Structure 1
Amino acid sequence: MMGGLTPAPARLPVTWSPRSEPLTALAVAGVGPVALALARRALAAEEKQLGAWSGVAGPGVLVLLGQTDSLPWVDGAVYLGKDAAAPSLLLPCALASDVAPALLERALVAHAASGTPLAVLPRPGLLIPLGAARPVARVTLASWLKTEEGSP
């Protein structure tokens, strides 16, 4: 359940504003303390629920993918969905960029070395490759959490 993180291209000036029509959530992402809270919330889930999610994790970041109704709620988490105009990206459900989604997709996919799909986290400006997402295993998630909690 590990994946590499890619900083968003700094030369791509994108402004994000509230989306008029939210996207349907297909994933939830947390960075820093929110990632730890998300992991704790996921570990509290029943085995059947935990097994219904797939995920990727890296230093200070956790992304869980699953059915909209099954995704855990954590204060500060970013819920991600697909815009039909940019199917290779998972974008914030509540935010829209001032760049046309297809153009944003083209620029971000060209920048990312690890393929698609990509989760886009405007703040703190991360692209998270999701192609390596695996079913969430309690032991793996608990190990990741323990490592992250021990990190400075």
Structure 2
Amino acid sequence: MSATGRDSRTGDALETRGEDAALLPVRWRSRAEPLEPLAVAGEGPVAVALARRVLAEDDARLANWEGVAGRGLLVLLGASASLPWVDGAVYLGRDAAAPSLLLPCALAPDVAASLLERAFVVHAHGGGAKLAVLPASMCLVRMDAARPVSRVTLQAWLDTGTSGDTP
């Protein structure tokens, strides 16, 4: 498991990438009924676009979001109607069968969501862990450290290069 860069002002994004994917082969299919979005995630250039989109908002709107960031990764939590739209972003929601996971709104795993949740929570070494699941990159992101979005911190994240493409 690899940890991304840590920034106490944005929250820590602990992520696991594809190196462990063979341990639990999961295929994803279109979800019959999309989940309500509770989060939006971007990786690489999409994370940069998401950060820029968020920075274009006023401070009152920023106050509605919490997030975590790591190298090449940004995940924001908020009410469905408040989440910013960014082309290529993954919108995540909660499946009642796996309440510890934020899953892609439009995709469902081919295994029971409760079993997937149990496996991912054990893998993340956290009994009460809240995890965002990004299937395209085979990435799990711990959301426990999500903090209110700060314009200064988000701009610093962009400026310091932690938004780079390499996780």
TM-score bracket relative to the smaller structure: over 0.9
Contact 1:28 1:64 in 2 (8 A): yes
C-alpha RMSD of the superposition: 1.5
Separation in 2, partners of 1:64, 1:151: 17
Separation in 1, partners of 2:50, 2:66: 13
Separation in 1, partners of 2:50, 2:113: 28
- 2:155 matched to which residue of 1? 142
Separation in 2, partners of 1:151, 1:30: 12
Separation in 2, partners of 1:133, 1:103: 25
Extract unaligned runs of 5+ from structure 1.
none
Question: 1:62: Cα distance to partner?
Answer: 0.1
Following TM superposition, where does structure 1 have runs of at least 4 consecutive aligned residues deviating by more than 6 angstroms? none
- 1:1-152 alignment runs, 5 A limit: 1=10, 2-7=12-17, 9-10=20-21, 11-113=23-125, 116-148=129-161, 151=164
Question: 1:6: Cα distance to partner?
Answer: 1.8
The 3-state SS of whatever aligns with 1:90 is strand
TM-score when normalising by structure 2: 0.87
Separation in 1, partners of 2:161, 2:63: 22
Contact 1:36 1:148 in 2 (8 A): no
Contact 2:44 2:163 in 1 (8 A): no
Contact 2:65 2:148 in 1 (8 A): yes
Q: 1:6-33: CA deviations, max 9, x gaps?
A: 2253210100011000000000000000
TM-score when normalising by structure 1: 0.95
The residue identity in structure 2 corresponding to 1:5 is: E
